[in-house]
Amino acid sequence: MNETEKSSQWHKTACILCSLNCGIEVQLDENEPRHIARIRGDKAHPISRGYTCEKPQRLDFYQNAADRLTSPLRRRPDGTFEPIDWETAIAEIADKLGLIRDEHGGESIFYYGGGGQANHLGGTYADSVLKALGSKFRSNALAQEKTGEFWVQGKMMGTGMHSDFEHCEVAIFIGKNPWQSHGFNRARVILRQIAKDPDRSLIVIDPRRSETAELADYHLAIIPGTDAWCLAALAGILVQENLIARDWLAEHATGLDQIEPLLASIPVAGYAEACGVPEDLLRAAARRIAQAKSVSMMEDLGMQMSIHSTLSSYLQRMIWLLTGNFGRPGTNYALVPFVALNLLNKGAGISRESGEKPEKRSPVAGARIISGLVPCNIIPDEILTDHPRRYRAMIVESANPVHSLADSQRMREALGSLDLLVVIDVAMTETARLASYVLPAPTQYEKYEASYFNIEFPQNGFHLRRPVFDSPPGTLPEPEIHARIVEALGELTDEDIAPLKAAAQQGRPVFAREFMNAMATNPVIAKFAPVVLYRTLGPTLPNGAASAAVLWAACHLFVQANPLSARRAGFTGDQFTAAESLFDAILDNPSGVIFAKDEYEDSWSRVRLPDNKINLAIPEMIAETQKLATEPLQRNPDYPFVLSAGERRSESANTIIRNPDWRKKSHAGLLHIHPQDAANLGLKADDSARLSTRRGSADVVIEITDTLQPGHLSLPNGLGLDYDAGDGVIMRVGVSLNELTASEDRDFLAGTPWHKHVPARLEPLK
Ligand code: SF4
């Protein structure tokens, strides 16, 4: 296809700006064919069905950023970088990692990242590198957002879950504004449907009158940081007014005998006052929930990054479980993931088969490892020490911990003290600037990519995206980088994989037989399976789809674990035939495929606890609930405001777009403040002020809005990136939020940060 033909075509791909990854089609600029000229929703995408929000219209700012990396870089002694060739880079990195492993053990090499909102495919192959090094500890952004929730749902259900807002009678959101942060497919369409329907209700628990709260029938405008009191009061009302689904609980749950007296003792009037919501409104909301035929509830970062976050995850589940809202249409359901990330239910330390298991801990700080992830806020503690088990080297892939994790100052200090830091990324990020070596990868539109955030029900979809552009010279896709490192470490040789290479040439049935045999008999093949698949099956896949090789194994594992789900989705025949036809469907459908169809009651078989029963009683959470009565919310008079650091706005997204020009409105990201607070400080719209926290300060421009409560401030996420527009001058537009946050401000159990509850002070700048 020539350039003219290529630019007139619509190319199917996905938006990469939030976890939904809506299917889109892009047309290239006919004069500048490496630019995206037009974008529209892909109506053939089986999940998003043509839906998009406004954000992907500006994706060309990502594709054509000026700070792209196009050569491996090595840090010179003076701190500057020099370009080097790939052979040198891989050889030196493997050599240095090997030396650290040999001297200090593989567990001294820490892995962070592995993919963002939509690029999980490449990181799958990192597993082989980590096995080659004997690396044991890892983390990613989920460990500053979701691990408290994962821990709770592991203890209560032993499975991941999501909610059916499309069909629910009552939708409840806590600390979530789906109008901007989405979180479920076609969010704005569904929110409008609920808001318009007099028989359905929308309940929003949020200090801020967000776009979603504007649509709500019940807006419980809590005082920032009081989510737990509000949720405890709602659960207390359900028990005290005898609104719980007693028969359903007797059949499906254990632990009610411990929970009921606890909730019966909740002083509802006192907790209503503590959270700032009128008691009548709380009671009306609780009764509406109890009366509904179906309730779906979702929490998000507004709650998960505030104080009591793990406790609030527990209490919010109590509300829909006490009212019997699980495993039916319009309620909450157990996920059927395509790739078992091991994230959604691992780490809670309980299983149907073996009961309670010891929890894993990080080697230095002894922090709980949930879902296999070290808490992000703990990472500097694991490095900045002379402890013999400290992390001494780090591999960072598709992630930017210096900017996106709490306490940038401390993170910079920690990463700067490592013996070796290897960063794999598309652009020169704040983390890459500290690296010993930087390895450039193609953008998400220049390679095969996929997201493993597949959370739909009863139909679930998976989308393997094809490259829209050729990858530029000097970059390598992540699977190739990982394969080369494993080979340079001497862990996998041509001789090891030669028989499987030959088998792959004879077709997938022969390959499958030989691969299964090798997995059972050859420890090297089993140990490095992702890279083995990439090197053997990969080259035989059509249209250069070698990176999809690992999905072949994923198809077999999925069909083996979920034969009925696959059969209902049309993948029939024996297990091998069904898995192979699923893999073919993934390769052949550029808009994605439905890989699972389920029944709501299937959720019960996925509750991986004894007798498939939900567990209501978690001792740690019962103790925390009791403390609410005696430990009121603390205020620091030196920092009278509460800053929400990281609001999702129309002009903000994840930090993958580094060029600040992508935000047409609000280039620098304004600080929102209530009119009364602005007046008290003598501030007018567009005035500048100094925002200070215990950890740092930043100059901000203010926007006055009554959507916030007095005493509450808010800044958007995704700003404050250090961007070189190509002239060697680094500019920072907007506030880099984690210059203001402190790593010790975190949840007592999961270690998740309190970004939405940062004590702050504001002073006018004259
Ligand atoms: S930002 Fe999210 S909701 Fe909006 S188009 Fe992209 S993936 Fe879809």
How far does residue 51's CA lie from ligand 1's centre (Å)? 8
* Nearest residue by C-alpha to atom 7 in ligand 1: 21
> For residue 425, what are its two tokens?
């990324």
Determine the topology of domain 73-136+343-454+459-597 in CATH: Rossmann fold (3.40.50)
Residue 353 has a pLDDT of: 40
Residue 243 has a pLDDT of: 98
Residue 531 has a pLDDT of: 98
Residue 356 has a pLDDT of: 56
How far does residue 12's CA lie from ligand 1's centre (Å)? 15
> For residue 766, what are its two tokens?
């004259």
* Nearest residue by C-alpha to atom 5 in ligand 1: 52
How far does residue 56's CA lie from ligand 1's centre (Å)? 7
How far does residue 458's CA lie from ligand 1's centre (Å)? 21
| 49 in Cβ contact with 59 (< 8 Å) | no
Looking at ligand 1, which atom is closest to the CA of residue 14?
A: 7
Looking at ligand 1, which atom is closest to the CA of residue 24?
A: 5
Looking at ligand 1, which atom is closest to the CA of residue 52?
A: 5
How far does residue 172's CA lie from ligand 1's centre (Å)? 21
Establish whether the linkage from the previous residue to 458 is cis, with ω within 30° of 0: yes
How far does residue 236's CA lie from ligand 1's centre (Å)? 37
How far does residue 48's CA lie from ligand 1's centre (Å)? 9
* Nearest residue by C-alpha to atom 4 in ligand 1: 53
Q: How far apart are the first and last CA of the chain?
A: 60
> For residue 660, what are its two tokens?
């600040």
How far does residue 17's CA lie from ligand 1's centre (Å)? 6
How far does residue 60's CA lie from ligand 1's centre (Å)? 15
Q: What angle do CA 214, 647, 42 make, to 5 degrees?
A: 80
- Sign for the CA dihedral angle at 343, 347, 351, 353 comes to positive
pLDDT tens column, 327-358: 999 999 998 889 875 433 343 333 444 345 67
Looking at ligand 1, which atom is closest to the CA of residue 118?
A: 7
Ramachandran angles phi, psi of 67, nearest 5°: -100, 25
Which of the residues in the chain have pLDDT under 50?
Answer: 342-355
**From 13, 22, 456, 649, mutation site for ligand 1 pocket: most ligand atoms within 8 A of C-beta:** 22
* Nearest residue by C-alpha to atom 8 in ligand 1: 22
| 316 in Cβ contact with 299 (< 8 Å) | yes
How far does residue 586's CA lie from ligand 1's centre (Å)? 22
**From 18, 42, 444, 454, mutation site for ligand 1 pocket: most ligand atoms within 8 A of C-beta:** 18
Residues within 6 Å of ligand 1 by CB: 15, 17-18, 20-22, 52-53, 55-56, 182
State the architecture of 160-337 in CATH terms.
3-Layer(aba) Sandwich (3.40)
Looking at ligand 1, which atom is closest to the CA of residue 21?
A: 7
Residue that is written with structure tokens 């129309």 in the block: 650
How far does residue 103's CA lie from ligand 1's centre (Å)? 46
CA separation for the pair 644, 351 (Å, rounded)? 36
Q: What angle do CA 54, 56, 62 make, to 5 degrees?
A: 140
Q: Quick one: DSSP state of residue 740?
A: S
CATH node for 641-764: 2.40.40.20
For residues 356-384, one letter each, b for 16 or more C-beta atoms within 10 angstroms of the residue's C-beta and e for the rest, the string is eeeebebbbbebbbbbbbbbbbbbbbbbb
- Sign for the CA dihedral angle at 701, 703, 709, 710 comes to positive
* Nearest residue by C-alpha to atom 2 in ligand 1: 18
CA distances from 445 to 78, 112, 119, 398 (A): 35, 23, 10, 14
**From 36, 182, 453, mutation site for ligand 1 pocket: most ligand atoms within 8 A of C-beta:** 182
Q: Quick one: DSSP state of residue 753?
A: B
Determine the topology of domain 3-63 in CATH: N-terminal domain of TfIIb (2.20.25)
The closest of 352, 310, 249 to 607, measured between CA atoms, is: 352
Residue 346 has a pLDDT of: 40
How far does residue 84's CA lie from ligand 1's centre (Å)? 37
**From 13, 16, 17, 45, mutation site for ligand 1 pocket: most ligand atoms within 8 A of C-beta:** 17
Residue 226 has a pLDDT of: 98
Q: Quick one: DSSP state of residue 1?
A: -
Neighbours of 243 (CB within 10 A): 16
> For residue 485, what are its two tokens?
């490192």
Torsion of CA 437, 440, 444, 447, to 10 degrees: -130
Residue 7 has a pLDDT of: 63
Residue boundaries of the structural domains of the chain: 3-63, 73-136+343-454+459-597, 160-337, 641-764
DSSP readout, 150-200?
HHHHHHHTSS-EEE-TTT-SEEEEES--HHHH--STTHHHHHHHHHH-TT-
How far does residue 182's CA lie from ligand 1's centre (Å)? 7
